[in-house]
Structure 1
C-alpha cells in the first residue's frame, strides 16, 4: 500500500454528552485530538486530516501542524462525515483507500493503525477493521464492548460474519473485542454511505452491520491490545495516566 493511495481521516465533533468538549480536553499537555493525529501521522500510511464541524477543533489541529477540513454539522455518523471530507480533500479520486480513525482513541498505537490495511491486499475484501481477543468475563458480557464473530482466514485475520453487543459466540473458545477503526476501499465507502440504515444496524445500534447486510465483505486483523476509547471522566483520567508515562 503506497502512501499516496491512502487517506486517513479522523472525524471529531464537540457534541459528546458524557464528556463535553471531548476532542479538546488536555491529556499530557496536548488536546486529545492532537494525540490521535500524532499517532496517525506516525503510522506513515498516507495523508492525515481531521474532519470536523467545529472551528475550535480545526484551529487546535492547525496550531499543532495538522490538516483539518470543515464538514457540515448534521451528519448522522462519522462515516458520512469522512465521506464529505474525502470529496473535499480528494475530488479527483486519487485516494483508493480511506481510513476512518475515531478521534477519541488518544492511546492508539501507530502499529495498530497501519495493521488495519492488511486485509485490503485481498481484492475480495471491501472493508478492513481490527479486533483483539477478550480475556475477561466482564468484557465478554459488557454490551458496550462490541464483539465480532468471524471465521479464520489466516493466523491473525478473520472474515467478519457478525458484530454484536451480546456475548458471542456461545461456548468455549475465543471471543474478540471489535476496535472501531476501519479502512474502506473508496468504492466501498461510496456504496456504504448511500445505503439506508439496515434492520440489524438499528436493532444492535452498530453501523457496520449495514455493510454486512448489503453483502459487503469485512475482514478483521487481530491485534494484541485494545486502544482505550475516552467516553467518561474515568476514561479521561486513565488516558492521562498512560500518556503521562510516554
Structure 2
C-alpha cells in the first residue's frame, strides 16, 4: 500500500468535560506545538495544524507549521463539529486545504494527547491496507482503573490473525465491532481502550458527514458510532505506550509506507 495522507493536528477537536477547568491559553499553545512536533517526527504524509487562537497560530508558524484557523464561535456547544472525533470539522478543514483531493487519506490528531507517539501514524496506515476499510483507528490495553471509568471510550475488536504488523513489535490489526463507555454493555471481556486518532479515506469521510448523528453517538462520545451503524468498515491497529519500532517508514520505501 502506498498512501498520500494529510495529517491534521487540531485544537479543541472534542467537547471539553465541563466539570473540569478549561486549559490555560499558554498550556493550549504548548500542547498543540508538542503534538505537531510528534506527528512530524513520524515522517509520514503532510502535516497541517488547525488552531483556534491567534497565539496558537503565531507560535505554530514560528515552529515551521502550515496553519489554518477555525472560528469555534461559529458552532454551538451541541453542534456536531464539536463531537469527540470531529469528522465534520476535519472535513471542513481538509476541503479548504485540499479541494482537489490530492490526499487520499485524512488523519485527525487532537492536541490534548500526552500519550501521543510518532509511530501511531505508522500504525494507522496498516489498518487501512485493505481497500474495503473506510476508516482506521487504534486501540490500546485497558488498565484496571480504566475498565470501570465511563469517561474512557472502549472498543470490541475481531482480530485478524493473518494481519500482523511486523514493523511494530507486538502490533496486530482487526475490525472494530462495537464502541461503548460502559464496559458492562459489551458481550465479551476482551475489551480495549479506543485511541482518539482516526484516519479516513476521503470517500467514506464525505459519506459520513452527510449522515445525521445518533443519540448513541453523543452518549458514547465518538462519531465512529455513526459510521458503525451505517455499515462502514472500521479497522484498528493495536498499539502500546512502549512499542518497539522494528522498521521505520523511511526504511520501507522512501517517505511512504508499503506493506
The TM tier, using the shorter chain, reads 0.7 to 0.9
Q: Distance in 1 between matches of 2:219 and 2:27?
A: 32
> Where does 1:11-22 land on structure 2 (aligned, <5 Å)?
11-13=10-12, 16=16, 17=18, 18-21=20-23
Q: 1:22 to 1:188 in 2, by over 3 A?
A: farther
The answer to which of 146-155 and 184-193 deviates more is: 146-155
Q: Give how far 1:90 is off.
A: 0.8
Residues 147, 164 of structure 1: 8 Å contact kept:
yes
Equivalent residue in structure 1 for 2:182, among 166, 173, 179: 166
Q: Which residue of 2 aligns with 1:33?
A: 32
Secondary structure of the structure 2 residue equivalent to 1:116: helix
Equivalent residue in structure 2 for 1:147, among 150, 154, 170: 154
Q: Give how far 1:86 is off.
A: 0.4
Are positions 1:130 and 2:132 aligned together?
no
Where does structure 1 lack aligned partners over 5 or more consecutive residues? 227-246
Q: 1:22 to 1:132 in 2, by over 3 A?
A: farther
1:83-120 deviations in Å (ceiling 9; x for gaps):
11101111111000000111111441101222111121
Are positions 1:76 and 2:78 aligned together?
no
When the two structures are superposed, what TM-score results if normalisation uses the length of structure 2? 0.77
Q: Distance in 2 between matches of 1:113 and 1:140?
A: 25
> Greater relative contact order (Cα 8 A, min sep 6): structure 1 or 2?
2
When the two structures are superposed, what TM-score results if normalisation uses the length of structure 1? 0.81
Secondary structure of the structure 1 residue equivalent to 2:196: strand
Stretches of 4+ moved more than 6 A in 1?
A: none
Q: Give how far 1:55 is off.
A: 2.0
Q: Give how far 1:184 is off.
A: 0.4
Q: Distance in 2 between matches of 1:202 and 1:98?
A: 22
